[in-house]
Amino acid sequence: MAVPDRAPGMVSIFVLVVMVLTAKVMTTAFLAVSDHLQLQQFLHVSEAYADMLQQFCRANAPNPLLSNGTEINGPEVLLSQADGPVHLRITAKQDGCPYIRVEQAMVADNRRMPLVKARRCEITPPGGADHPVYSGGEASFPRYALVDFASCRSYAEPLPARWQGFFNLGGRFYDARARILRIRREQALAGSGLLLLPKGIVFSEGVRYEGRLICYSFGDIVIGRNVTLRGVFLFTDKRIIVGENSHIHGIMTAGTAISRGEGSSLTADRDVLKPFQTSYVTF
């Protein structure tokens, strides 16, 4: 039986369909490769910006914060042709909370838009380090406005749920959020940091700590028996309860009452009232 010849139009359409499908496959493959290269370049440039900022933060960490209202713009550098030149920009301001100053460092483009940012804070005791209430090391302090410290919370990092000791604070400012922070028995801890404690803190029996620790608490600060804390500033609008044979080196202030068990002691240390300068944190 004879096979009918295909009409020329059918052959042309078949070839056209094949060509279109082939072109579509090639285009899809090209776009996939192009997207992959663009992603790789984006990641490479982002890493370069982050590295630039981290190097500055490490080098500047020992220095004090800039004065309020100060802005410094570094020289321009070209890390990406697509983004154009970028520069380091550092600013400092007094926050709405009277106890905190904030310094921001960023890599910014030529429109002054931040590409990557970091910040650190300087936090001073309520009323200032020279407030007469701190002179004896232990005192009742007028209740501070919770709204002041509530405004500071935007600069605090959430305290990790499994956090076990001050050795992990790393000079940072942490918020314990909606839980009582409990330090387990017999822990020996060191390091520095600042804790915002909406529900209070408990130092269990036998805890030993040495370093620089600031606690701003909206709940009771409870110190168990045979605890030694060196270099602490404990500040609460509720109570401070110190157990038997516990020894505190620092400053304690409470809005309601301070009670101390038999054999406990307080050694005033005004060094804990110096402004606390946090580590840089990217955000």
Q: Tens of pLDDT along 45-74? A: 778 888 989 999 999 999 999 999 999 999
Domain that holds residue 204: 132-277
Q: Are residues 150 and 111 in the same domain?
A: no
Question: Would residue 99 count as lying in a domain?
Answer: yes
Q: Are residues 117 and 167 in the same domain?
A: no
pLDDT greater at residue 26 or residue 64: 64
- The fraction of the chain above a pLDDT of 70, given in percent, is 78
DSSP, collapsed to helix, strand or coil, labels residue 75 as coil
Question: Would residue 45 count as lying in a domain?
Answer: yes
Instruction: Give the model's confidence band at 20: pLDDT under 50 very low, under 70 low, under 90 confident, else very high.
Output: very low
Beta bridge partner(s), residue 78: 85
Q: Are residues 154 and 228 in the same domain?
A: yes
Sign of CA dihedral 193, 279, 126, 163: negative
Q: Is 272 a residue whose pLDDT tops 50?
A: yes
28-37, 78-87, 256-265: least confident range: 28-37
Measured between alpha carbons, how far is 82 from 59 in angstroms, rounded to an integer?
Answer: 28
* CB proximity list for 62: less than 8 A, separation 6 or greater: none
> Which of 75, 78, 74 shows the shortest CA–CA distance to 45?
78
Q: Are residues 64 and 178 in the same domain?
A: no
Instruction: Give the model's confidence band at 165: pLDDT under 50 very low, under 70 low, under 90 confident, else very high.
Output: low
149-163, 169-183, 230-244, 259-273: least confident range: 149-163
Q: Is 151 a residue whose pLDDT tops 90?
A: no
Q: Quick check: 129 and 233 in contact, CB under 8 A?
A: no
- State the Cα torsion 138-144-146-147 to the nearest 10°: -140
Measured between alpha carbons, how far is 221 from 260 in angstroms, rounded to an integer?
Answer: 12
Question: Would residue 283 count as lying in a domain?
Answer: no
Tell me which of 72, 103, 123 is where a domain ends: 123
Give the pLDDT score at 40: 56
pLDDT greater at residue 151 or residue 61: 61
Q: Determine the average pLDDT of the residues in 180-206.
A: 92
Chain center to CA of 232: 20
Claim: this prediction has a pTM higher than 0.85:
no
Measured between alpha carbons, how far is 166 from 221 in angstroms, rounded to an integer?
Answer: 16
Q: Are residues 196 and 268 in the same domain?
A: yes
Token pair for 101: 């100053």
Tell me which of 123, 157, 178 is where a domain ends: 123
Measured between alpha carbons, how far is 175 from 201 in angstroms, rounded to an integer?
Answer: 12
Question: Would residue 119 count as lying in a domain?
Answer: yes
Task: List helix spans (H) across the chain.
Answer: 8-60, 146-152
118-122, 158-162, 195-199: least confident range: 158-162
Q: Which helix (H) or strand (E) holds 171?
A: none
Q: Is 129 a residue whose pLDDT tops 60?
A: yes
Q: Are residues 162 and 210 in the same domain?
A: yes
Q: Are residues 114 and 142 in the same domain?
A: no
Instruction: Give the model's confidence band at 134: pLDDT under 50 very low, under 70 low, under 90 confident, else very high.
Output: confident
Question: Would residue 15 count as lying in a domain?
Answer: no
Q: Are residues 227 and 141 in the same domain?
A: yes
pLDDT greater at residue 96 or residue 205: 205
